[in-house]
Chain A
Amino acid sequence: NAGVTQTPKFRVLKTGQSMTLLCAQDMNHEYMYWYRQDPGMGLRLIHYSVGEGTTAKGEVPDGYNVSRLKKQNFLLGLESAAPSQTSVYFCASKEGGEQYFGPGTRLTVT
């Protein structure tokens, strides 16, 4: 049981490039989330999903898109990366009242 995994762990992008972050969970959870964490700050919700085929906006959705084609996977896309999107990205899934977080992806946009 791997829990929540994220791919890649690190990535450097140039402004304007695109990329997709992959989150996978093997716990059969319905709810999945994408957060970003900037230095010295708490986590902020980008998008979330309440089940396969559904997505919804969180607090800071601009510049990101998501897809949940399979229950176990939640993808976060950046169509045209900007330096303001330099951050650490965390994925989470939920069971009961507890969220389980992945190890994070550190993204730098130059």
Chain B
Amino acid sequence: LAKTTQPISMDSYEGQEVNITCSHNNIATNDYITWYQQFPSQGPRFIIQGYKTKVTNEVASLFIPADRKSSTLSLPRVSLSDTAVYYCLVGPFMNTGFQKLVFGTGTRLLVSP
């Protein structure tokens, strides 16, 4: 599984756009990039997943450049409730079968009023 590097922490204010970048230089051809969000005292929650270019859903966008060695999670107009730890994971997208997730220490996002 590819090793990922992301900032330990980030600060933002309500209403701003937040971009969290993850570096994964050793990403393999069949690897996907997945982001999970974890609030204090809760289990992680799936946010978004992508392979290349751009993916958007109702909560976030994921930008992946052509070389796929990095990716950026974009959270538009954050609110206080977006304060959480965000994990970037890289590995094969196992639609069926066993899937192993390797969590690093994540990025702790603090949103202030």
Q: Which residues of A contact B (CB under 8 A)?
A: 4, 31, 40-45, 48, 50, 58, 90, 92, 94, 96-104
Q: With a CB–CB cut-off of 8 A, which chain A residues contact B34?
A: 97
Picked from A45, A92, A97, the residue with its CB within 8 Å of the CB of B49 is A97
> How many angstroms from the CA of A100 to the CA of B43 in the assembled complex?
8
- What's the A-B contact tally at a CB cutoff of 8 Å? 51
A31-B99, A90-B44, A97-B49 provided; 12 other pairs, C-beta below 8 A? A41-B105, A48-B98, A50-B97, A94-B99, A99-B101, A101-B43, A101-B44, A102-B43, A103-B42, A104-B41, A104-B42, A104-B43
How many angstroms from the CA of A90 to the CA of B44 in the assembled complex?
A: 9
B43 contacts A97, C-beta separation under 8 Å: no
Stretch from B15-23, B60-68, B70-78, B87-95 contacting the other chain: B87-95
With contact pairs A42-B87, A97-B32, A102-B43 given, residues A50 and B98 touching in the complex (Cβ less than 8 Å): yes
Question: How many chain-B residues does the 8 Å CB contact rule pick out?
Answer: 23
In the complex, whether B104 has a CB less than 8 A from a CB of chain A is yes
Chain A nearest Cβ from B62, distance in angstroms = 14
**Closest partner residue, chain B, to A101 (CB atom):** B43
CA A43 to CA B49, docked complex, whole Å: 19
Chain B residues packing against A (C-beta within 8 Å):
32, 34, 41-46, 49, 87, 93-95, 97-106
Write the chain A residue with the least CB distance to B92. Answer: A97
Q: Report the Cα distance A42→B3, complex, angstroms.
A: 13
B105 with A42: CB separation less than 8 A: yes
A48 to chain B, nearest CB (A): 7
